[in-house]
Amino acid sequence: MRYVIDFDDAAADLEERIGARARALRRITALGIPVPPGCAVTDVACRRFLETGDLPDEAWHQVVDGAQGILSAVAAIDPGHPTTFAVRASPPVDMPGLVDSVFDLGWTVEVHDASTRWATPRFAAETRRRFAEGYAAVVRAVPVERIEAVRGRDDATTAELEEAAGAIEALIVAETQRPVPPDPLEQLREGIESVFASWDGMPARRFRRANGISDDVGTGVVVHAMVHGAADDDSGAGVAFSRDPVDGAPAPVGCYRPRAPHNLVAADRTNLGADSGLPPELRERLEDALRTLEADQRDAVRVDYVREKGTLWIVDGRAADRSSPAATRIAVDLVDEGALETDEALLRVEADGLAELLHARIAPGAAPEPITVGTAASPGAATGIAVFDSASSLRRAADGTAVILVRRETTPEDLSAVVAAAGILTSHGGRTSHAAVAARGLGTPAVTGATSAHVDAQAGEMRIGTATVQQGDMLTIDGATGSVYLGPVETLPPADGGHLERLLRWADEVRRLRVLANVDTPAGAEVARKAGAEGIGLARTEYMFSGERLSVVRRMLLADDERDRATSLETLEAMQTDDFVRLLEAMDGMPVVVRLLDPPLHEFLPGRVEVEQQLAAARRNGQPTEDLERLEAAVDTWEESNPMLGLRGVRLAVVIPQIYRVQVLAALEAVRRRLDAGGDPRLQLMIPLVASLDELELVRDMIEEEVHFAGRQLEVGIGTMIELPRAALIAERIALESDFFSFGTNDLTQTTLGLSRDDAEEAFLGEYLAQGILTDNPFQTIDRAGVGRLIRTAIEEGRAANPELEIGVCGEHGGDPRSIAFFHEIGVDYISCSPPRIPVARLAAAQAAVVTAS
């Protein structure tokens, strides 16, 4: 069996077994770019080692042959070269937790002497100490702090270096009862085995589990000759990129450090010019190598290089990591240069990264220490004055002042202030809090749940530790990271849309999934339309019952008799009609899917504690308490032990049918007005929380009755939210009465997993993720085995019963690339997500289409 292959061996039969780094180095060698002589060991050797605790003899013999070949090859180039080995992991994909590299293996007294001769005594001493440190820490797992204790200073003299190396070698004996083997091949063997063994360590296992990679493969290993960037003044090391990894500009960038061993050089892009110390002809050769490699890879590349006594060696070469703007620009430029097809370009940009591109960002390096960090609730950076109540916020915003609305948490009453603010900061609530959802719907930056902040609205201030922020103080929030800064911070404007626009246009051409937006307000609709939304997939009507209208809603809920209630309902109808008109106007010609009222009624009432306090106060002061007592009774009536599973959604239509009827009337009236105004309103009404066909029929009948009664041909689609397992399980029946299904994946995840998002994310989801019991947060990425299976079944059976059935997804998963891939796969027609995720969704949908087609 063949376990080892030289870099320059033309045979391709082991390519699949040697890992990515080894493949890259063989490829670079084949392109005629100088790579130190070396060979690769297969993952089969790794597997055998892990199973038996020993390298197979046959594999070891082949490694020895490979090492001899490396020695001969080096000797042929430079007979005096003091040759040692680098052993480096070459796993199938990048995998944190593996031992990455062990350097200078094969260090012996003879090599030490040769090093002194080939370079200087100091070089020999430095290399020896570095070797000993690596051997102790990586091969023998001696605790780093003990090594630190004996390694001496960085600027040690040659004698001190030798002494320190000796001390580390002694430490190895003391800690592991075995000296560094005098046999260079034994050192090589131990090095290879330590890389192999790390495959089974906890960190690597956890990573594989989290990424769905099988434990049963193993890692390849690369062995190559060490080349020395610290040999003399004609030596050095560096990193170079074929294009700028930060902005994607199409020219090489990188760095060079003279007299440096390459493994100590950090990647940066600051200095590859004439003043870097890199001679022009070498820079020329390096840029040639980058060009050759980029042309070969058809992608921006990064190389790690060493200059040894004037000779250039490439020791690593791979696709360059890059920022989202850079990825976008590089992909588009490569198409323009004819290197890529547009389909390939679409796959080169990570969709998730686009969420932030359309927003202002904190300039790199500009951020001071944050005063607190909360949940990154809605992306974008915003600077403004801190304001602690809605009224002031509205007043200041009306003056044109940028305002950061700071609250403990926001409620429906704060909505107009949220709309007017430049950014939102709350001390409570997570990614699904009112503030977070409202901000994302508006594309407004928001940080929520900054728990270390104590917001005192009464006093008009926020205290964090000993610091106090007062009304009017300048704040900056970064909704992409959750950071909050005192004062203004330099921000970059939203990325130049040119490249992104082109990429997304290509995406629009290939994707099959339509992309709609979850927005509730005309302002949100504007933002969504600009981001490329093809309509509204979820307009929550709760907001129509918020703000100053809450008092009307409460009057309705507290009504003593039907007449009282009817009056409040009429008021609400008129208000909602205007809302619907403006929403349909903002999305003229595009579908607008309106969800009938969903939340439990107690959300429209004040909290119990608040009412009790008011009541106690009124009693103390001898004020009339009748109204408060009625309020208390209503709070009693609508209070629930598990509101998520209580009286909400379509259940409201069964118990208080008037509320839905008013919404339907308002929506139909809005359609009529838009038609009269020459518009093209495309209203669809969506019924939430359906669990049975009868519920659906009840509301459907109500809607059709009103449409009929309207006496004019109003075309209104009627659809069902599938957000309970039972709805998915009886999809075949429900489909017969539905024009469309819209999967509410948030609630469907909650019920399928029996997991309250609010409670779980606060209390234990973190623990689940940390212990690897969950690999993904199921509220971010769809749980395929459970929730996904229900969705797939519901689509199949729903379509079988009603081939005209349209299928959408309007949960937050509609903006998650991995979930979008799944939705594409199972035949969803459209996804709907918050405005900031629309570019993400457009690209992810396109990627899914490209991947499926290929």
Residues 6+ apart with CB under 8 A from 49: 55, 56, 193, 196, 197
Phi-psi region of 790 (alpha: psi -120 to 50; beta: other; left: phi over 0): alpha
The verdict on 347 binding a second copy (CB under 8 A) reads no
Per CB under 8 A, 761 contacts a second copy: no
**Measured distance CA(832)–CA(838) in Å, rounded:** 8
Q: How many Å apart are CA 587 and CA 538, to the nearest integer?
A: 13
Residue choice 78, 456, 640, 705 for contact with a second copy (CB under 8 A): 640
CA–CA separation, 44 and 31 (whole Å): 27
Site size toward a second copy (CB under 8 A) is 49
**Quick one: 17 or 565, whose CB is closer to a second copy?**
565
State yes or no: residue 701 binds a second copy (CB under 8 A).
Answer: no
Q: Is 265 in the site for a second copy (CB under 8 A)?
A: no
- Which CB, 78 or 758, lies closer to a second copy? 758
Q: How far apart are CA 680 and CA 584, in angstroms?
A: 8
Strand (E) positions, 322-459?
361-362, 372-373, 375-378, 381-387, 403-407, 423-426, 446-448, 453-456
CB atoms < 10 A from the CB of 739, how many? 18
Length in residues, the chain: 854
848 within 8 A of 820, measured Cβ to Cβ: yes
Min dist CB 772 to a second copy, Å, is 7
Using CB under 8 A, which of the segments 417-425, 551-559, 589-597, 718-726 binds a second copy? 718-726
Q: What is the DSSP string of 35-66?
A: --SEEEE-HHHHHHHHHHSS--HHHHHHHHHH
User: Judged by CB, which is closer to a second copy: 347, or 774?
Assistant: 774
Q: List the one residue from 754, 803, 804, 853 that touches a second copy (CB under 8 A).
A: 754
- Is 810 a catalytic site residue? yes
Whether 434 is a known active-site residue: answer yes
Here the tokens at position 844 are 């992810």
**Residue 818 C-beta: closest distance to a second copy, Å:** 18
Check residue 695 for interaction with a second copy (CB under 8 A). Answer: yes
Pairing of strands 514-518, 491-492: unpaired
What whole-number distance in Å separates Cα of residue 521 and Cα of residue 531? 15
- Please tell me whether residue 763 binds a second copy under the rule CB under 8 A: yes
Q: Is 635 in the site for a second copy (CB under 8 A)?
A: no
Contact range with a second copy by CB under 8 A, out of 121-129, 348-356, 383-391, 750-758 = 750-758
Stretch that binds a second copy, among 134-142, 503-511, 538-546, 766-774 (CB under 8 A): 766-774
- Does residue 760 touch a second copy according to CB under 8 A? yes
Residue 841, phi-psi category: left (phi > 0), alpha (psi -120 to 50), beta (remainder): alpha
User: Quick check: 826 binds a second copy (CB under 8 A)?
Assistant: no
The owner of tokens 């075309």 is 715
CB-wise, 319 or 729, nearer to a second copy? Answer: 729
641 binds a second copy (CB under 8 A): yes
Q: Which of 810, 813, 824, 833 is catalytic?
A: 810
Catalytic pick from 81, 224, 262, 434? 434
Residue 782-821 contact track with a second copy, rule CB under 8 A, x = bound: -x-xxx-xx-------------------------------
Give me the 644-683 binding string for a second copy, x by CB under 8 A, dash otherwise: xxxx---x--xx----------------------------
User: Does residue 319 interact with a second copy by CB under 8 A?
Assistant: no
Tell the smallest beta-carbon distance from residue 154 to a second copy (Å).
41
Sheet holding 423-426, edge to edge: 372-373, 483-486, 474-478, 381-387, 403-407, 423-426, 446-448, 375-378
| Residue 706 structure tokens | 């009103």
- The answer to whether residue 774 forms part of the interface with a second copy (CB under 8 A) is yes
Token pair belonging to 428: 């409570």
Is 599 an interacting residue with respect to a second copy (CB under 8 A)? Answer: no
Q: Which residues are the active-site residues?
A: 434, 810
Contacts with a second copy by CB under 8 A lie at 640-647, 651, 654-655, 689, 691-692, 694-695, 698, 723-726, 729-730, 733, 747, 750-756, 758-760, 763-764, 767-768, 771-774, 783, 785-787, 789-790
